[in-house]
Structure 1
């Protein structure tokens, strides 16, 4: 079972003795984590009976039942506190991920989240919940998928320091500082689209265009060689 570019990007951000993959589907990510020696043990959590059986079968075929335990349940409910050091939630809407995080009675110190859209909602949640954004990438696919790695740390997140708040929250402080080429292409496309709409003077469009232009300015700063 091979990983697509999206899950390969997730894989590269995970390294822990014990990890949980929440909403594991066919257990492709847990299998890759063990085979690549990025984790010693993985708990693969799946709520729905069909994917659960497929995950069990895949783990069985791989002969990795000693290192990957497939459990049925909703979100973090099947995982005991301090049983894992990190967890991943991938291939879901940001609101679905937020619902799972909100229902959890506890959370591990490291979270790797891959929403299909609205990553700003997860960045805002992390700021309010004591998690710092440590790494983020855009993975190619049907569209560009954001992959975010958070760690539980006290205090304000320094990743956002000296960046326009709305632009950093929406487009990602690390992506802006690194002048990510995928993000640059996306911002250029958004600026063209919004500029055409802005002639009608709608306040919501004008505000959205302002945030995009703030993000582009950050990218240009990052690309400008230091004197």
Structure 2
């Protein structure tokens, strides 16, 4: 099965032999790929919308994998019972929504051995949630696929070391699998922020001053992380 580079990289983060729960499965491509290649014994493909779930069910039937992949209509982890999955994959949604799903799904996460996460935004908030709820990020990665950057990471139960603000925002560099891609992402983001800074009005309006301080702080963090990557 040909799947996108993003989905393929996420599939690679799933530990072989684990039972997978794919939250927001859409077309069900990741569990399909892993089960077809016999890398996992079973999967539960979950989605809040009936349309995508029906398409996933159709793809599963076409592949003859109905005995290995179950589909469930579910808002986040609500329909997953504790002990049913070893790996939970949540990808392709905003960080705020991901944090809500994880918070509301605490019981379903009992017994889960790893989380594979790919938030589209508010990535620092997802890292903060993990670090304060008994999850240790063990691997970071970032992928450039069709012009877009996709940060992703794997977390396992356990205590975590303290994080700096830069590490909450961009991850611990020692865990990063693709530092060159991360550097390229940060350089582009730094250039955007410098353009924003240069375009801000030169007045003392409180709102403008607050925005200028926010952009300056972002530039400082980006410069700090880039200097660590390139040193």
TM-score, with normalisation over the residues of structure 2? 0.85
Give 1:7 shift: 0.5
**1:133-190 per-position Cα deviation (integer Å, ceiling 9, x unaligned):** 111211222410011111111x3337x5xxxx12111111147766711111122223
Give 1:210 shift: 0.9
The aligned residue for residue 6 of structure 1 is 6
User: In the alignment, which of 215, 218, 221 is matched to residue 225 of structure 2?
Assistant: 215
The aligned residue for residue 205 of structure 2 is none
Secondary structure of 1:40 counterpart: coil
Contact 1:175 1:183 in 2 (8 A): no
Contact 2:137 2:160 in 1 (8 A): no
Secondary structure of 1:101 counterpart: helix
Which runs of 5 or more structure 2 residues have no equivalent in the other structure? Answer: 203-208
> What CA distance in whole angstroms lies between the structure 1 residues aligned with 2:37 and 2:131?
31
Contact 2:135 2:160 in 1 (8 A): no
Contact 2:138 2:175 in 1 (8 A): no
1:135-154 aligned at under 5 Å gives the runs 135-141=139-145, 142-153=147-158
Secondary structure of 2:34 counterpart: helix
> What CA distance in whole angstroms lies between the structure 2 residues aligned with 1:17 and 1:110?
9
CA RMSD across the alignment: 2.0
Q: Does 1:127 align with 2:124?
A: no
Give 1:131 shift: 0.6
1:187-226 aligned at under 5 Å gives the runs 187-198=186-197, 202-221=212-231
Name the count of aligned residue pairs: 215
Give 1:73 shift: 1.5
Secondary structure of 2:41 counterpart: strand
1:1-227 aligned at under 5 Å gives the runs 1-15=1-15, 16-106=17-107, 107=109, 108-141=112-145, 142-153=147-158, 155-157=159-161, 160=163, 165-174=164-173, 180-198=179-197, 202-221=212-231
The aligned residue for residue 225 of structure 1 is none
Contact 1:18 1:84 in 2 (8 A): yes
Secondary structure of 1:44 counterpart: strand
Measured at CA, do residues 97 and 109 of structure 1 come closer, stay the same or move farther in structure 2, by a change above 3 Å? same
Which runs of 5 or more structure 1 residues have no equivalent in the other structure? Answer: 222-227
**1:64-104 per-position Cα deviation (integer Å, ceiling 9, x unaligned):** 01111111121112221111111101111111111111111
> What CA distance in whole angstroms lies between the structure 2 residues aligned with 1:196 and 1:143?
20
Measured at CA, do residues 32 and 204 of structure 1 come closer, stay the same or move farther in structure 2, by a change above 3 Å? same
Give 1:112 shift: 0.4
Secondary structure of 2:79 counterpart: coil
Q: Please identify, of 190-199 and 81-90, the stretch whose mean Cα deviation from structure 2 is larger.
A: 190-199
Give 1:128 shift: 0.7
